[in-house]
Amino acid sequence: EEDFPDDSTTPLGNYVLHGLKQLLDAQQLCDVTLLVEGKKFMCHRVLLAAASPYFRAMFTSPLVESRLNEIRLEEVRPTVMDAVIQFVYTGEAGLSLDTAEDIFVAANRLQVMPLQELCSRF
Amino acid sequence: MSFHLYQMDIDEECVDNLWNNLKSAIHRILNKDNKGLCFSELYHTAYTLTQLRRVMKMYTGLKEIITEHLLNNDQIYAKNHGMDSVYTIGITIFKDKVLGHNAINKQLQWTLLGMIEQDRKGAFVNREAIKNTCQMLMILSLEGRSVYEEYFENAFLDISTELFQLESEKFLAEQSADKYLTKVEAIITQECERVLSCMDISTKERIIQVVEQVMITDHMQTVVEMENSGLVYMLEHTKVQDLARMYRLLSRVPGGLKLMCDTMSSSVRQRGKALFSQEEVGANPVDQIQVGSLQDFTSRRTGPVDSFSLFEQNLLDLKAQCDHFLAEAFNNDKLCKQTITGDFEHIFNLNSRSPEYLSLFINDKLKKGAKGLSEQEVESFLENALMLFKFLQEKDVFEKHYKQHLSDRLLSNTGVSDEIEKSMILRLKTECGFQFTAKLEGMFKDISVSNTTMQEFWSHIQTMQISLSGVNLSVKVLTAGVWPTQSPAPKCSIPSVLSNAFEVFGSFYLEKHIGRKLMLQHHLGWAEVNATFYGSLKKENGADACASDAQVTRKHILQVSTFQMTILMLYNNREKYTFKEIHQETDIPERDLVRALLPLFWGKTEQRVLTKEPSSKELDRGDIFTVNDEFNCKWHKVKLKTIAAKKEATVPEKKETSHRVDEERKHRIEAAIVRIMKSRNRLQHKVLVAEVTQQLKKNFVPSHTAVKRCIEGLIEKEFLARTPEDQKAYIYVA
């Protein structure tokens, strides 16, 4: 609880996002595990669905994924996946010349538009 | 991972497989059978297809699937649950959200009306665009046409109404009826064409209705009654084209045809009445010649005689004209036809002498005219005559006159041909039935029987070697009752040679027909006498085959009446007779004598058979008549005109005819009353009168008083009785 920022002037978006990042870091209330090449990423469905039409469709449509806790994602490498998740929870991607292209492809594929935009301007 | 894919050759089979996977998954999802379907796999497939640049394939396929699915949904679900189809929902949403927007629909309407206004002015506008918009509005109206009406048609019709109102007032102020109608017709054509190429076809009927109401109905009275160009003008100047146009336009609107017919009717009636009064001027009875007044004998002969024929001919011409209009302009319209028929009936019966005139008219043609006419012309004449006959109300009066005239034709042998006569009678028979012509046919029969009788008589004379002193007798035996009743033959002492000959015939005939009675109607007969004129040398005149001597200068056969023959025969005995002496010798009543004498001494010197002393225009009982030996004629056979040829009935004859007609009508009315009462037993006065009128209509229209009088007569004779409880009802007393 002491992790909540004191500054009540922080915009609500940042405020909420910050809270979610704290929950991720603490691995609390996570309700989905993304399995990428054997590496597990525990996340919150709500945030993924809010940030990406891809995930929204995946979690809200009545297909297999809506009932699975662990979802295997192909065609993405764990480092790239980690970058995407970090971006979603913080708005920062930490792009470098090495990673930018791969992250762009993944952002496109996973339909995280702001990230794709960010990469294309890198 | 993916950029290198662009360089790969695209394997179509692989693409198809991918798409089919996707497709079957979509179907399964739509059918709620999504067990085991994996989102990321499907997404991967779709993503790959995108990468392979097969987006269009996916789009088209997806559209198909959705359409199919939605239609399926419409059919199975929406229909059964009373819900709108997807299509309808789409349309409704478009209608409400787009068209429902005030700015949009105002603008749309304004634009459409503006374009149409331009189009009406003849400017070039994109008609296709108007048409498409109208079609859209119709589509948005779904099953009805409410949207089309609301956003376009109502306003269009309102604006058109205003426009046409203005235009028609402008045209009417400036133009004549024919031009106005031409304009209206053009507008109708233009508007129809405009609707077809710019609007929904259903507007056609409505815009036409507007034109009809505003330009025709509202102004038809004015147009029809326009002086110097309206209906009456068109009729009088035979403007068939304009009439046809007026008919076409006015028959479109309620009351239009009626208005036309009424106006036409009064015009035709007026013209008919005018014909009738033309005739009236000359119609004086010819028959006033008496001792003392001979002045205008010649002039009197022509006027009235021709007037009836002029009247009938004019009437026929008018009818022909009307028929021409009917066929060429009025499309043989039933109401127009009825109107015309009614008008002619009215005109024809305006003149109380119509029945007589018609008979005279026919007489005129059957007597002499038809000689020059071809068979076809005769046929058409008879057709016309019959047409006039149909207009006639007093057909029974016609029959009386016709009988009289037919009798004249048959007896004086002046009819053109039996064939034509019979053809006319057949027509009358077809029109009025057997009874109507029974007597006419009887007359024909008498004539043919007489011909046979005369043949038998002559062979009888030869076998028996009887002498008739050179008289070539021809007798026609007329059955009493069949022929027009004659007043008893005027007195006349027929020369004995002739009366002897007649007696011979009489005894021959009565021997064959025991119980019959023969009466000589000498005034109906005629004679041919051989006359010899000796120039100025000697005065002698022979009635029979000429006297022996060869001193003859000129020989003629004179065709004369019995009276004239009797007069001429006197001159076999003496050279001179005074009027008084002739009167005494012949016993002919003075009036008939004057008539018989006139043609003998009237006219140019060489045309006279007799000479009157003194040769004044007065006729005095002491005047002396001698044979005119200067008589000269280039024909051997001379027919002397007889005044008594009675082209028009004389006053007493007319009285007779009308009396006879009245008598006969009385019988017919009585017979009809008895017939009706016998079958109905009990009837109200009004009903009875109506039925009687109905039954007799074919022959004549009985007056109510006449029917009433007959009813009273029958009550007196105890055929009928008033019912005790109701004075206005009758019962039949058997």
pLDDT tens profile A33-55: 999 999 999 999 999 999 999 99
In single-letter form, the type of residue at position B306 comes to D
pLDDT reading at B412 higher than 80: no
Chain B residues within 8 A of A102 when measuring between CB atoms:
1
A35 φ/ψ angles, rounded to the nearest 5 degrees? -105, 110
Task: Report yes or no: B379 and B341 within 8 Å, Cβ to Cβ.
Answer: no
Task: Flag if A58 and B42 touch (Cβ within 8 Å).
Answer: no
Chosen for mutation from A33, A52, A59, A63 (greatest number of chain B CBs closer than 10 Å) is A63
> How far is the C-alpha of B581 from the C-alpha of B540, rounded, in Å?
19
Task: Flag if B39 and A72 touch (Cβ within 8 Å).
Answer: no
pLDDT more than 90, % of chain B = 11
> Which residue in A has a C-alpha nearest to residue B30's C-alpha?
A62
Instruction: Calculate the alpha carbon distances from B306 to A26, B144, B320, B354 in Å.
Output: 136, 72, 20, 14
pLDDT band at A3 (very low <50, low <70, confident <90, very high): low
Tokens of B440: 């006419």
pLDDT band at B30 (very low <50, low <70, confident <90, very high): confident
pLDDT band at B651 (very low <50, low <70, confident <90, very high): low
| Listed range (A100-114, B58-72, B198-212) with the worst mean pLDDT | B58-72
Give this complex's ipTM: 0.88
Q: What is the pLDDT of residue A42?
A: 94
DSSP conformation letters of A22-62: HHHHTT-S--EEEEETTEEEEE-HHHHHHH-HHHHHHHHSS
The closest CB to that of A63, out of B1, B38, B44, belongs to B38
Residues 300-359 of B with CB under 8 A from A: none
Dmax (CA) for chain A in angstroms is 42
pLDDT reading at A30 higher than 80: yes
> Which residues have C-beta within 8 Å of that of residue B592, sequence separation ≥ 6?
B490, B492, B523, B563, B644
Q: What is the pLDDT of residue A26?
A: 92
Residues 86-115 of A with CB under 8 A from B: 102, 105, 109
Helix H or strand E segment including B554: strand B554-561
Task: Flag if B37 and A64 touch (Cβ within 8 Å).
Answer: yes
Task: Flag if A73 and B40 touch (Cβ within 8 Å).
Answer: yes
Beta strands B554-561 and B576-578 are unpaired
Highest mean pLDDT among B296-300, B331-335, B406-410: B331-335
Q: Torsion angle of alpha carbons B59, B61, B67, B68, nearest 10°?
A: -170
Task: Flag if A58 and B43 touch (Cβ within 8 Å).
Answer: yes
> How far is the C-alpha of A9 from the C-alpha of B581, rounded, in Å?
163
pLDDT reading at B328 higher than 50: yes
pLDDT band at B586 (very low <50, low <70, confident <90, very high): confident
Task: Report yes or no: B697 and B650 within 8 Å, Cβ to Cβ.
Answer: no
A6 or B225, which is more confident?
B225
Report the 3 state secondary structure along B679-726: HHCEEEHHHHHHHHHHHHCCCCCCCHHHHHHHHHHHHHCCCEEECCCC
Chain B residues within 8 A of A57 when measuring between CB atoms:
39, 43
> How far is the C-alpha of B661 from the C-alpha of B680, rounded, in Å?
28
Q: Which residue has the tokens 């979802």?
A: A71
Chain B residues within 8 A of A61 when measuring between CB atoms:
29, 34, 39
> Which residue in B has a C-alpha nearest to residue A64's C-alpha?
B38
State mean pLDDT over B646-661: 64
Write the pLDDT tens digit of every residue in A61-91: 888 888 889 999 888 899 999 999 999 999 8
The number of residues in chain A equals 122
The closest CB to that of B38, out of A64, A75, A105, belongs to A64
Q: What is the pLDDT of residue B500?
A: 84
- Cβ-in-10-Å burial (0-12, 13-18, 19+) of B470 comes to exposed
Residues 648-667 of B with CB under 8 A from A: none
Of B664, B657, B674, B673, which Cα lies nearest the Cα of B699? B664
Residues 17-56 of B with CB under 8 A from A: 29, 34, 36-40, 42-44, 47
| Listed range (B114-123, B590-599, B687-696) with the worst mean pLDDT | B590-599
Beta strands B554-561 and B526-533 are antiparallel
A72 contact B CB<8A: yes
State how far residue A53 is from chain B, nearest Cα, in angstroms: 12
State how far residue A23 is from chain B, nearest Cα, in angstroms: 26
Task: Report yes or no: B416 and B367 within 8 Å, Cβ to Cβ.
Answer: yes
Q: Which fold has domain B526-534+552-639?
A: Ribosomal Protein S5; domain 2 (3.30.230)
In single-letter form, the type of residue at position B568 comes to L
pLDDT reading at B299 higher than 70: no
> How far is the C-alpha of B468 from the C-alpha of B544, rounded, in Å?
11
As a whole number, the mean pLDDT across chain B is: 80
pLDDT reading at B350 higher than 60: yes
B135 or B645, which is more confident?
B135
Q: Which residue has the tokens 């009614």?
A: B342
> Which residue in B has a C-alpha nearest to residue A71's C-alpha?
B40
Task: Flag if B34 and A62 touch (Cβ within 8 Å).
Answer: yes
The closest CB to that of B39, out of A64, A75, A109, belongs to A64
Count the Cβ atoms, other than its own, within 10 Å of residue B543: 23
Task: Flag if A65 and B34 touch (Cβ within 8 Å).
Answer: no
Report the 3 state secondary structure along B160-199: HHHHHHHHHHHHHHHCCHHHHHHHHHHHHHHHHHHHHHHC
Chain A residues within 8 A of B36 when measuring between CB atoms:
64
> Which residue in B has a C-alpha nearest to residue A60's C-alpha?
B39
Q: Torsion angle of alpha carbons B668, B673, B679, B683, nearest 10°?
A: 160
pLDDT reading at B213 higher than 70: yes
State how far residue A18 is from chain B, nearest Cα, in angstroms: 29
Chosen for mutation from B39, B44, B50 (greatest number of chain A CBs closer than 10 Å) is B39
Write the pLDDT tens digit of every residue in B378-403: 788 888 888 888 888 888 888 888 88
Task: Report yes or no: B212 and B181 within 8 Å, Cβ to Cβ.
Answer: no
Q: What is the pLDDT of residue B528?
A: 83
A67 contact B CB<8A: no
> How far is the C-alpha of B21 from the C-alpha of B42, rounded, in Å?
8
| Listed range (B37-41, B541-545, B626-630, B648-652) with the worst mean pLDDT | B541-545
A71 contact B CB<8A: yes
Q: What is the pLDDT of residue B284?
A: 41
> Which residues have C-beta within 8 Å of that of residue B306, sequence separation ≥ 6?
B282
State how far residue A28 is from chain B, nearest Cα, in angstroms: 25
pLDDT reading at B286 higher than 80: no
Q: Does the global pTM surpass 0.80?
A: no
- Cβ-in-10-Å burial (0-12, 13-18, 19+) of A120 comes to exposed
| A vs B: CB pairs below 8 A | 35
Task: Flag if A63 and B44 touch (Cβ within 8 Å).
Answer: no
B597 or B39, which is more confident?
B39
Chain A residues within 8 A of B29 when measuring between CB atoms:
61, 63
Q: What is the pLDDT of residue B278?
A: 58
Q: What is the pLDDT of residue B485?
A: 64
DSSP conformation letters of B487-541: PPPPP----HHHHHHHHHHHHHHHHHSTT------GGG-EEEEEEEE-TTT----
The closest CB to that of A105, out of B2, B34, B43, belongs to B2
State how far residue B37 is from chain A, nearest Cα, in angstroms: 6
The closest CB to that of B39, out of A58, A74, A109, belongs to A58
Task: Report yes or no: B643 and B600 within 8 Å, Cβ to Cβ.
Answer: no
In chain A, the N- to C-terminal Cα span, in Å, equals 37
Q: What is the pLDDT of residue B431?
A: 81
Chosen for mutation from A59, A64, A73, A116 (greatest number of chain B CBs closer than 10 Å) is A64
Class of domain B651-732: mainly alpha
State how far residue A57 is from chain B, nearest Cα, in angstroms: 8
DSSP B561: E
State how far residue A63 is from chain B, nearest Cα, in angstroms: 6
Count the Cβ atoms, other than its own, within 10 Å of residue B492: 20
Write the pLDDT tens digit of every residue in B312-323: 778 888 888 888
- Cβ-in-10-Å burial (0-12, 13-18, 19+) of B705 comes to exposed
The number of residues in chain B equals 734
Task: Flag if B36 and A64 touch (Cβ within 8 Å).
Answer: yes
The closest CB to that of B1, out of A54, A57, A75, belongs to A75
The closest CB to that of B39, out of A65, A102, A105, belongs to A65
The closest CB to that of B1, out of A57, A61, A105, belongs to A105
Q: What is the pLDDT of residue A81?
A: 93
Task: Flag if B39 and A57 touch (Cβ within 8 Å).
Answer: yes
| Residues B273-309: b if buried by 16+ CB within 10 A, e if exposed | eebbeebeebbeebbebeeeebeebeebeeebbebbb
pLDDT band at B132 (very low <50, low <70, confident <90, very high): very high
pLDDT reading at B294 higher than 50: no
CATH number for the domain whose boundaries are B447-524: 4.10.1030
> How far is the C-alpha of B123 from the C-alpha of B115, rounded, in Å?
9
pLDDT band at B190 (very low <50, low <70, confident <90, very high): very high
State how far residue A37 is from chain B, nearest Cα, in angstroms: 15
Q: What is the pLDDT of residue B644?
A: 47
Task: Flag if A74 and B40 touch (Cβ within 8 Å).
Answer: yes
pLDDT reading at B688 higher than 50: yes
State how far residue A20 is from chain B, nearest Cα, in angstroms: 25
The closest CB to that of A54, out of B2, B34, B43, belongs to B43
State how far residue B206 is from chain A, nearest Cα, in angstroms: 55
B82 contact A CB<8A: no
State mean pLDDT over B214-223: 90
pLDDT reading at B285 higher than 50: no
Tokens of B170: 């402008």
Task: Flag if A75 and B34 touch (Cβ within 8 Å).
Answer: no
B189 contact A CB<8A: no
pLDDT band at B303 (very low <50, low <70, confident <90, very high): very low
